[in-house]
Amino acid sequence: MRFQLATALTIASATLSVASPTFEAVSNWGKSNAGQKRPDHTSSRPNVKCHPHKPHVPPPSPAARHKVCYAKSHGDGKTDDTPYIMKALHDCNNGGHVVFREGVQYFIGTAMDLTFLNHIDLDIQGMWLFSNDTDYWQANSFPFVFQNVTSFFKLGGNDVNIYGGGTIDGNGQAWYDLYAKDIYTLRPVLFGVDGLKNSILSDLVLRYSPQYYHFVANSSNVIFDNINIAGGSNSANPAKNTDGWDTYRSTDITIQNSYIVNGDDCVAFKPNSTNILIQNLVCKGSHGISVGSLGQYVGQFDIVENVHVYNISMTDASDGARIKVWPNTASALSGDLQGGGGSGRVNNITYDTMYINNVDYAIEVDQCYGQKNLTLCLEYPSPLTITDIVFKNFIGKTSTKYQPQIGTFACSSSTVCNGIVASDINVVSPGGKNEAYCLNVDASTLDVVCTDVFKGFN
């Protein structure tokens, strides 16, 4: 039986009633739903369905595999198992099924280029544990071209299916402590995806990523289903920038039926993300489901288009639904994250059905990302257009941080923001207000009480 998000919707007289999912109902997401192991110790492939919404293209339909390979392990938690892993993947590529046995730890101390994979299943029943040799990984992890992203391994190829209910552990504590000392530390992404097509990743537990949990680049027709993400710091140094998913230069990506406890965006759509479906997520402690940040690099034209976000539970977060765009002037969010001056478009984005619980802003549209000086931001308005944006069927209560405001709709100029609609926004601040800061937008299309009092951006 596959886990379902326990959310009931009743829309009557323009009122949305949502039963928030309980922790117990969803915290087991990521555990294998494939049933009993076969006599050869392989897991049956999960039957992944996209429901209730369907992606723009037909989901992958992988063929049966006809060869089984078993990855070996030294089993001592300190000897590098990467050669064993690579051998099994090469032996079973082009039509095979690789088993990482239940109860076995695979210790990984070497960067792995897995972009050669083709028609293969990775049945991860045990644990992949990455070494905490921060010097090695900073010198050898795979760089991407966006921001400071690097990864332990690059997953690519065609018709790759990963499942099994096992755990991938980034051993992040060493990285959290190192980053607190040096913000220019290159922290690897736990799951680097580069050039993956027609593939399904499901029934996985991800823990303690040094930075993002997924960075999905240059990929198409990929589904993430039943993924369980969590892992904070056990020291005074927080686990920062631990986004659940970031998509980049990718199209037809579906992320669904998953449970995420993290310290940054639950999902973020980075430049040139199109035809994206997000549904049935529980997000705790995050920065929301975010478009952007965009417009960071001068001369770059960023596109995020045709995104549908449905049925999200957002708890203890800075934002629920968020669009963040850099202004048309150099700005610095932090020493290692600076930008501004790029252009592009955000078009046809829908956020439908979101349960808000102790969230600073239920909705945030921000064209001044990285720039705290609002006057300077308005002097240099972003050329990036934001059009045809829908927020609907939101319910719940925000935190006290910005009360009485429950959101902000702030465009740097009226010429770049058109068609922003917010309807059935049944979200209140702790004091019972439904106010929002509105700037350069059509207030008549927003189901909030607009005010010109600026409370500040996250």
> Any idea what the CATH number is for the domain that residue 197 is in?
2.160.20.10
pLDDT at 132: 97
- Token pair recorded at residue 412: 């740097």
Say whether 175 sits in a helix, a strand or coil: helix
Residue 2 lies in a domain: no
pLDDT, position 338: 84
142-143 sheet: strands from edge to edge: 142-143, 150-151, 188-189
Q: Residues near 53 by Cβ (< 8 Å), separated by ≥ 6?
A: 277, 279, 308, 310
pLDDT value at position 456?
Answer: 65
Domains: count for the chain: 1
For 287, the token pair is 């920065």
Q: What is the distance, to the nearest Å, from the Cα of residue 254 to the centroid of all Cα atoms in its chain?
A: 11
Task: Give the predicted TM-score (pTM) of the model.
Answer: 0.93
The pair phi, psi for residue 221, each rounded to 5°, is 55, 60
Token duo for residue 24: 């117990």
Residue 182 to residue 185: CA distance in whole angstroms: 6
Q: Which of 97, 119, 287, 308 is catalytic?
A: 287
- For residue 345 the two structure tokens come to 């478009």
Q: Residue 382 in 3-state DSSP?
A: coil
Compute the distance between CA of residue 438 and CA of residue 394 in angstroms, rounded to an integer.
Answer: 18
Domain annotation covers residue 162: yes
Residue 426: inside a domain: yes
Domain of residue 367, residue span = 131-451
Q: Per the domain annotation, does 170 fall within a domain?
A: yes
Which of 273, 320, 244, 307 lies closest to 146, judged by CA?
273
Local structure of residue 34 (DSSP, 8 states): S
Collapsing DSSP states into helix, strand and coil, what is residue 88? helix
Predicted local distance difference test score (pLDDT) of residue 8: 29
Length of the chain (residues): 458
Establish if 360 belongs to a structural domain. Answer: yes
Digit-by-digit pLDDT tens for the chain (458 residues) are 233 333 322 222 223 333 444 444 455 666 665 555 777 899 999 999 999 999 999 999 999 999 999 999 999 999 999 999 999 999 999 999 999 999 999 999 999 999 999 999 999 999 999 999 999 999 999 999 888 899 999 999 999 999 999 999 999 999 999 999 999 999 999 999 999 999 999 999 999 999 999 999 999 999 999 999 999 999 999 999 999 999 999 999 999 999 999 999 999 999 999 999 999 999 999 999 999 999 999 999 999 999 999 999 999 999 999 999 988 888 877 777 788 889 999 999 999 999 999 999 999 999 888 777 778 878 888 899 999 999 999 999 999 999 999 999 999 888 899 999 999 999 999 999 999 999 999 999 999 999 998 776 55
CB atoms within 10 A of CB 40: 9
In this structure, what are the phi and psi dihedrals at residue 92, rounded to the nearest 5 degrees?
-105, 10
Is 287 an active-site residue? Answer: yes
Peptide bond connecting 404 to the previous residue in cis, omega within 30 degrees of 0: yes
Q: What are phi and psi of 262, to 5 degrees?
A: -150, -175
Residue 425, domain member (yes or no): yes
Residue 388 lies in a domain: yes
Cβ neighbours around 252 below 10 Å, total: 21
pLDDT attached to residue 17: 36
Instruction: Indicate the DSSP class of residue 115.
Output: T
Within 8 A by CB and 6+ apart from 296, the residues are: 147, 302, 326, 339, 340, 342
Domain assignment of residue 302, yes or no: yes
What amino acid occupies position 285? Answer: G
How many angstroms separate the CA atoms of 258 and 265, rounded? 14
Q: Are 255 and 273 in contact (CB under 8 A)?
A: no
How many H helices and E strands in the chain? 5, 30
Question: For 420-441, b where at least 16 C-beta lie within 10 A, e where not — what string?
Answer: bebebbbbbbeeebbbbbbbbb
Q: Which pLDDT score is estimated for 326?
A: 86
